[in-house]
Amino acid sequence: MENQITIREAVTDKDVALFWEQLHTYHKRDIFPDANSEDLKYFLGSEYHNHMMKIHDRPHDRCRFLFFNREGQDIGFAMPVIFTTEDSKCFIMEFCIYPKFRGGGAGKECAKVLLDWAKENGALYAELNYGSDDRRHRFWKSAGFIENGTDEWGEPLMILPPEDKVPYTVEVLADPTDWQLLKLENGFKRDIGEEALTEEKQKQLQKAIEDGKITFFIAKRGYRAVGMCSVAKCYSTFSCSFTGVYEDFYIEPAFRGKGIARKLAQAAQMWCKENGISSLTVCCAPCDEKMYLKFGFDVTLGHTYAHLI
């Protein structure tokens, strides 16, 4: 078919070298135009190169170096990873159409070809970072992606949601260092207009979990964590027993409206009952009151006031 776009993988040493050449050009031209940028120095350096080659060469969940080809000519490239050992997510790390081929729908056609390729290779859905680039955001939105929280470093994500039916489960977080907790925490903070967790705050949170001061409940769709809530335990002299505060309630936007919120609340309430916690309270905005009433928070305890220090 005339003008048909196909994908070819960089397999030979020559093609791999060409891919890296185009990737460096893309980083310098489109992503970090400031030649003195520390980020640019990292992406052009040996540390990033060696890291990505390890992912490219590993036996599973490999990073693939792909070229978009039309009529025998490369017009762009992509660098996806399909996590077949997890939940078959295709994470699109890089996507570029060479400048002279931009316009006329080439980008959208390449995106479609890439997503078809990912599906043929076992992907069930796709995800990517879009940074703060409005143009990139609009492009992927036109391809069906929606905003969906952040990654573990606080960078905003977009997702092409999965269509397969997978049951949602809730479990108590076992590993305080789990990267998926950081992803959810940073998504929650972005939702409420706060900055992502610093490295220091990450360590403080992990220590609080290890010490039993706070317990997290994680909602999962198979491997993927899609929501969370937490219970902070404290001692009440009024009841002479432990009580709990319901906090950090967050579900990724793409997975809302599926009953996950109720599952999280019920899991937290059952855990409190099993662990001798006499009451569970929540502070919420007026717009959320009806929701929490439906989840069993139906006893009014006056008003809550705080002095922020």
The CA-CA-CA angle for residues 221, 223, 147, to 5°, reads: 60
Residues in CB range of 289: below 8 A, 6 or more apart: none
Write down the pLDDT at residue 241.
Answer: 83
Q: Which of 279, 67, 254 is nearest to 162 (CA)?
A: 254
Q: Which two tokens stand for residue 212?
A: 């039993």
CA 305 and chain centroid, separation? 34
The CA-CA-CA angle for residues 192, 194, 198, to 5°, reads: 140
Q: Which domains does the chain have, with CATH numbers?
A: 5-123 (3.40.630.30), 168-294 (3.40.630.30)
- C-alpha Rg value of the chain to the nearest Å: 23
Is the separation of the CB atoms in 153 and 113 below 8 Å? no
Q: Strand, coil or helix: what is 70?
A: strand
Write down the pLDDT at residue 52.
Answer: 97
What is the rounded distance in angstroms from the CA atom of residue 38 to the CA atom of residue 151? 21
Q: Strand, coil or helix: what is 27?
A: helix
Residues in CB range of 78: below 8 A, 6 or more apart: 7, 66, 68, 92, 94, 95, 96, 110, 114
Q: Which of 24, 29, 72, 81 is nearest to 48 (CA)?
A: 24
Q: Kindly give the confidence (pLDDT) of every residue in the chain, 309 residues in length, as a single tens digit, with 9 standing for 90 and above.
A: 556 999 999 999 999 999 999 999 999 999 999 999 999 999 999 999 999 999 999 999 999 999 999 999 999 999 999 999 999 999 999 999 999 999 899 999 999 999 999 999 999 999 999 987 899 999 999 999 999 999 999 999 999 999 989 999 999 999 999 999 999 999 999 999 999 999 999 999 999 999 999 999 999 999 999 999 999 998 888 878 889 999 999 999 999 999 999 999 999 999 999 999 988 999 888 888 899 999 999 888 877 777 788
What is the rounded distance in angstroms from the CA atom of residue 164 to the CA atom of residue 281? 36
E strand segments, the chain: 5-9, 66-70, 73-83, 89-97, 125-129, 146-150, 156-160, 168-172, 214-221, 224-236, 241-251, 277-281
Write down the pLDDT at residue 2.
Answer: 59
